Amino acid sequence: MNYIMYYSILDAARMNFSIVKAKELNKNFISLYKGRSEEKLEDVAPFMFGLETSSKFIDWYLNEGWGDA
pLDDT at 24: 93
Residue 29 lies in a domain: yes
Does 25 reside within a domain?
yes
* Domain presence at residue 1: no
5 band by pLDDT with thresholds 50, 70 and 90: confident
**How many separate domains does the chain show?**
1
Q: What is the pLDDT of residues 8-46, one digit of tens each?
A: 999 999 887 789 999 999 999 999 999 888 888 988 999
Range(s) of the domain holding residue 20: 6-65
Distance CA 6, CA 18 (A): 21
